């Protein structure tokens, strides 16, 4: 019954095979750093700076798409006027973008 299953033999190691096998992985590390990790860190740093610079009267949009004018800024939360009689409290980190002044004219 040995004719249905062929024997598997180990292949001999070639000279320099271990270095050539690891070389592509070592070359991919800088590529991942410059294409993925570094831009993400830059975006996080810019967002943190934008959030820390928020002040009363700024017009912002949250991650959920809610736009309004900041009325009060606290340590972790801020109050935002979204309509004439409507104010909501949102986390500072939920602010996605700072809009140019005068963008939200109807509020």
Give CA–CA dist 14/18, Å, rounded: 9
Residue 58, CA atoms < 13 Å, CB-side half-sphere: 20
Per-residue pLDDT 10s for the chain (107 aa) are 567 777 777 776 555 557 778 888 899 999 999 999 999 999 999 999 999 999 999 999 999 999 999 999 999 999 999 999 999 999 999 999 999 998 887 65
Q: Which two tokens stand for residue 73?
A: 């800024």
Q: Which two tokens stand for residue 87?
A: 């104010």
Would you say the pTM of this structure is higher than 0.85?
A: no
The structural domains of the chain, with segments of one domain joined by +, span 15-53, 55-99
Report the Cα–Cα distance between both ends of the chain, in Å, rounded.
Answer: 85
For the domain bounded by 55-99, which CATH number is listed? 2.30.30
């Amino acid at each position: 019954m040995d004719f249905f299953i062929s024997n598997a033999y180990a292949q001999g190691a070639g000279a320099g095979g271990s270095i050539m096998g690891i070389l592509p992985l070592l070359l991919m590390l800088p590529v991942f750093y410059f294409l993925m990790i570094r831009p993400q860190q830059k975006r996080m740093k810019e967002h943190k700076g934008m959030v820390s610079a928020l002040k009363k009267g700024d017009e912002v949009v949250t991650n959920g798409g809610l736009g309004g004018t900041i009325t009060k800024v606290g340590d972790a939360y801020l109050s935002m006027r979204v309509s004439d009689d409507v104010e909501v409290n949102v986390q500072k980190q939920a602010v996605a973008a700072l809009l140019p002044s005068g963008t939200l004219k109807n509020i």
